[in-house]
Structure 1
């Protein structure tokens, strides 16, 4: 079939993977991704940034308890962190797929540094109220929403596919290593020097990430296609996800987990202050216990994935989170609450990492940033709603009751796995296929010319019709998912063996982009169709451009 260009030439340029290991990488080792220098440096720099962010969260959460006695406002500190990730993540995904990810991450880090500096200055001067604190926390979250899709979508460029699950786990483990130390350190800093000191330290910790990104020089391939418009790119990402049942199941389960499990983070300041009668140090210790549990989960996750199916591990995480939430609500001593928080941390890391890995392994590179951002939208929408709901319930019914109800929702999430189960790990090759030559139109058209209609003719014997229709159902999903619309299949009335597949794209550039998105796994579908086709030549594509049914030069009036 000759209905598309060379994907290697027309795919959106990406940072070429820096995949030559400096040290020996053990294929099954949890730490194998550290053999790759760029990944290792970014991971280390992220430790500092995560440490600062966690200290900032402790400062913001504790400062809010001194600015207001409203449980809702305290819980909404966590909500102000997650809301931007729910609202802006998809835009961040578009940036990740259409711009150099290094530049996107640098811009986001610089923005967060500036906002954090302003927050530190205003809080130090005593000019910050409850709503101002939420506004600045929200702004920092906006920077994170733009940064995170680019970072997550860059991981497959930094390590080979066989090390991708470990790399994702290490990212989560790095964050939770800092969660095990950062909150406790934040509690000490807040107790000794006040919340403004925590904000100052957070401002400083953006600098290592900016420095590493500035020194990173990813190679880029030339790209003959114009950049995809933002609106079109947004629709493409949502269309791709909507046509994949596996992606939708993962995202919905992530939303349920986010809404139910966020209660442990949203209500933890109230547990520390009211249930345990503690200080900022107590709050930091509980968060540290949560982080310690997450680190433990990351260390054993490879063995769990070797022994159990992904869905089984996620169900176990839902149940473990439910048990931990109930125990946290009933805890009467710091050590009891710490054990409960540790169990919650194990469940949090296990489920969140597996949602992430499942998406990464099932998504081609051209749309990975947008799909990862959609996962964030689902997850953090659930977390934002949960922060408000559990804060309201804690205010009206008490801390223990709110945690019990959120635990019940966790159990519902586990039962949902019977229907909305996570897919098994796929071995499909999602690399660009790259075996087509761009057609050369003889008409004078531009990249913006269109609409374009494409038709492909097949010759299918009667005894192969059912197999052909089954293959074309898969073909339809591939076409629509990769940017086509108005897909149809026609059968000739006088020659029943003759079939025509037709679809449309808005412009010539959109057609070339559509063809560049074909993966090696998609090409297997074409091979199936070739085996069913009985023509002397392969199925031939014809491309048409829509023109008005009027002469370009009007005849003179008589």
Structure 2
């Protein structure tokens, strides 16, 4: 896997590894600072929530920005700011001037930086590795995350026990500096000249519209949510399991997190074989069953060795499911909307973790740790039973390369880019094919139109001339329609359109209807 990805990816991977290790050390240090507070279950879960909640608030704008600007410069700026925040937290902690509330504020600010980093980093990966290496790059990304999850908490547990949380926070600041240095050394080719950047609001609408009209993306997001919500009980409450159920200290907590990381690394190594042996739905069932069983062990067997072994299995299942879904996302996204769609993916993933951690914290306060883990196990296992009804059929073989195959519109009137809405009509004649087959092909084409810019779509048949079909769709602005012409369509979209045209008597007659008040 490593040799397939190229030197640029490998250098960035190392920089991200340093940052991820620092982030996990930060989480351990923060959670251990509040584990002795009154209402510890609530405070510990709030640390996890403060880490991931920013994704709910800022992932979508961050994705829109990452699709519009130089992603290297964006990442570099964010890492510089994160270095300053982490350094300030380390200094205040060393002076014993950080209470739980202030700690949550700093944790939230660091989470904001991560929310800005994730979409850009994920969108950069296809820039630096070939398409056929994306599964390997995705698996290596999972190895990265879980090496950090293994090494970071174990190292943090030892350092917190010996030196306190301030040193851990300082090392987190250093980790951001390391990633920034790697980014400085990467010479990213400049983006080709394009139309002016999209406005934030229209870019957000375009990203949401793409996901809404992409069935495979919606199902991937649904499966991730069904897995992450119950699975987040581990990340939210494991410090309390270590302290209250197993009688372990900070180093013991690090060992438990390391067990999750070891399992995840093993899962990454098994992924190539698992991809060959298991279809996507089969992997969903297998990983859900393994993770659910691990949660039951935590709930029913309060033995540190049994729990450690169960966490290895949970880490393996977590990594295999997340890596499979992440790869499917990468392979099904065109570049123009990649960061925005990945931001929505991160929104679902981290939002499920944040809301789940908060809910499980309240459950633990009300019903106890064992009952809470048993409930989470039941929900995880129940989620696997929905696979038959809500299966995930990926289309990774479809070509998402940009395709400019629409001719440039030739108009007597020249609209302003902001003029709209624009009504586009395409008239087809269907005499030699089954009209029902043509209508079915056009229904598939509808998704392409609405993924790339259409806000409304319709297909009509002429009552006086049954062989005449008229497709109409509405686009918000002329600029939005030009983006369809000049980069939003892909080879897969072209194939969908060709299948519809093959059932007609030839290419359609296309007209562009402009708003009357702006047409002279």
Confirm or deny a common fold (TM above 0.5). Answer: yes
Task: Report how far residue 109 of structure 1 moved.
Answer: 1.4
For residues 549 and 123 of structure 1, what CA distance do their matches in structure 2 show?
61
Task: Report how far residue 440 of structure 1 moved.
Answer: 4.4
Per the alignment, residue 248 of structure 2 pairs with 278
Task: Report how far residue 549 of structure 1 moved.
Answer: 9.7
Equivalent residues in 2 for 1:4-403, closer than 5 Å: 30-34=1-5, 36-403=6-373
1:518 aligns with 2:489: yes
Does the aligned pair in 1 maintain the 2:16–2:179 contact within 8 Å?
yes
Corresponding residue SS for 1:493: coil
Q: 1:463 to 1:291 in 2, by over 3 A?
A: closer
Task: Report how far residue 437 of structure 1 moved.
Answer: 4.3
**Which of these two proteins has the greater Rg computed from alpha carbons?**
1
Does the aligned pair in 2 maintain the 1:116–1:200 contact within 8 Å?
yes
For residues 276 and 529 of structure 1, what CA distance do their matches in structure 2 show?
63
Task: Report how far residue 333 of structure 1 moved.
Answer: 3.6
Deviates more, 1:219-228 or 1:117-126: 219-228
Match of 2:509 among 517, 525, 540: 540
For residues 517 and 414 of structure 1, what CA distance do their matches in structure 2 show?
35
- Structure whose residues are more often helix by fraction: 2
Task: Report how far residue 356 of structure 1 moved.
Answer: 0.8
Does the aligned pair in 1 maintain the 2:450–2:457 contact within 8 Å?
yes
For residues 190 and 221 of structure 1, what CA distance do their matches in structure 2 show?
44
Match of 2:439 among 466, 469, 473: 469
Task: Report how far residue 71 of structure 1 moved.
Answer: 0.9
Higher-RCO chain (CA-CA 8 Å, sequence separation at least 6): 1
Corresponding residue SS for 1:205: helix
Does the aligned pair in 1 maintain the 2:160–2:250 contact within 8 Å?
yes
Does the aligned pair in 2 maintain the 1:89–1:149 contact within 8 Å?
yes
Task: Report how far residue 370 of structure 1 moved.
Answer: 1.3
Deviates more, 1:220-229 or 1:277-286: 220-229
Does the aligned pair in 1 maintain the 2:419–2:515 contact within 8 Å?
no
Does the aligned pair in 2 maintain the 1:297–1:349 contact within 8 Å?
yes
Does the aligned pair in 2 maintain the 1:33–1:39 contact within 8 Å?
no
For residues 48 and 549 of structure 1, what CA distance do their matches in structure 2 show?
55
Q: 1:393 to 1:549 in 2, by over 3 A?
A: closer
- Which runs of 5 or more structure 2 residues have no equivalent in the other structure? none
Q: What is the Cα-based RMSD across aligned positions, in Å?
A: 1.8
For residues 104 and 442 of structure 1, what CA distance do their matches in structure 2 show?
41
Corresponding residue SS for 1:490: strand
TM-score (ref. length: structure 2): 0.96
Task: Report how far residue 140 of structure 1 moved.
Answer: 0.7
1:29-52 Cα shifts (integer Å, max 9, x gaps): x32434x11101000111111111
1:127-149 Cα shifts (integer Å, max 9, x gaps): 21111111111111111111101
Per the alignment, residue 4 of structure 1 pairs with none
1:53-80 Cα shifts (integer Å, max 9, x gaps): 1111110010111344431111221111
Task: Report how far residue 330 of structure 1 moved.
Answer: 3.4
Per the alignment, residue 530 of structure 1 pairs with 501
Q: 1:337 to 1:455 in 2, by over 3 A?
A: same
Corresponding residue SS for 1:66: coil
Does the aligned pair in 2 maintain the 1:484–1:514 contact within 8 Å?
no
Deviates more, 1:482-491 or 1:169-178: 482-491
- Structure 1 residue ranges (4+ consecutive) displaced by more than 6 angstroms after TM superposition: none
Task: Report how far residue 357 of structure 1 moved.
Answer: 1.1
Per the alignment, residue 448 of structure 1 pairs with 418
